Amino acid sequence: MIFLIFSFGVTLIFGLANIYIYKRLVLKFITLKYLRRLFALILFTLFLAQAFFMVFRSSEYLNDTWYSFFASLYAPTYCFFFVTLLLDFLRLVLTLLGKSFMKIASFLKVSFEIFVLLFGAFITYFSIYSAIKVPEFNEVDIEISHLTKELKIAMLTDIHLGKNLHEKFLSEIIEKVNSKNVDMIVIVGDLVDAKPETLKPYISKLNDLKSTYGTFYALGNHEYYHGINEVLELLKGQTNMRILVNEGVDLDFINIAGVGDLVGLRKGILAPDLARAKVDLNLSKPSILLAHQPKTTQLYDVSDFDLILSGHTHGGQIFPFALLVKLQQGFVSGLYPLSEKTQLFVSRGAGFWGPSLRTFSQSELVILNLRGDK
């Protein structure tokens, strides 16, 4: 039922946005005067494709190629909706100033309309490209009290391996991470976003990740959506990652622990258990906690940890959803002090969820340079 309500809601929103674009941009532009029927057909076809994707995105009817194609078709509507909204705002300003678009010379008006159309096309392309490209590195320096030696960590979150991002994307991430010669790699949830059997041909590539202390992994919410037991069976069977589900590891000079995702509370399986994760740790040492959702820090006492690493938010992914993320999670992206001892770092993530679309929130691979305080 929730799936149907969500799908209907999104489809309705994009349908109304397509109508708005037609009425307030296509019908208003003199450059499109003789192309109105064509654009009406294009916008209607976009709506049908968007509705189709919403209904069948979780099924096996769409192979990877078609899935990627349909997922990208939300970008034109989204981008041109905001372009049209800006145009209406400009019209309102001109009206308040006692002016009008109609009084502008035809040559200037046509030039302006062509510019607007090209600008809309560019931001549509850039939004899709920003979603599917292999991210660049964001390097962050963090001071941790009593850390006896520097530690260079590659942090990966929200890769979302599935129909949109798969083997090639993962291989390129691994190559980029290995070029950094890190001490440790952490994968903080939402690695898997498809039925586990579809990842079997290439998930073992994670064994190619190179670091001094190995790769540590914590669950995200999307792993639960595709059968948490099957996901764990796949990862334990085909990768050499240290999987931290309410478990901690003492690495002599630092501790690292991971907890289950908050969605486990609702599903009644592998919910966060911070007390269990701390059982085997010497908490007089600096300690890192992997917790996919940053909201975890608001629901549990994390004061024994020096650094919590989270993802989940995608930095908002699509404007203006960063505002909703802030309300729901309490954090969006970047480094946050939680107390005099404890800090939280939230990554924008390497991949994306849903439509192939990222605006005002670029994906990232993160290098954390940890140093002792001076």
In this predicted model, what pLDDT tens digit does every residue of 326-347 receive, in sequence order? 999 999 999 999 999 999 999 9
Percent of the chain beyond pLDDT 90?
82
pLDDT value of position 198: 93
pLDDT surpassing 70 at residue 221? yes
**Where is average pLDDT lowest: 182-191, 223-232, 282-291, 318-327?**
318-327
Distance CA(190)–CA(262), nearest Å, equals 13
Cβ pair 220, 258 in contact under 8 A: no
Q: For the residues 141-165, what does the mean pLDDT come to?
A: 95
pLDDT surpassing 90 at residue 283:
no
How far is residue 90's CA from residue 346's CA, in Å, rounded to a whole number? Answer: 36
Q: How far is CA 294 from CA 10, 75, 300, 350, in A?
A: 26, 28, 11, 16
Say if residues 344 and 335 touch (Cβ distance below 8 Å). yes
The answer to whether the CB of 244 falls within 8 A of the CB of 261 is no
238-254 pLDDT tens trace: 999 999 999 999 998 99
Percent of the residues in the chain that have a pLDDT greater than 70, as a whole number:
97
Q: What is the pLDDT averaged over residues 144-153?
A: 94
- pLDDT class for 139, splitting at 50, 70, 90? very high
Query: Against a cut of 0.75, is the pTM above it?
Result: yes
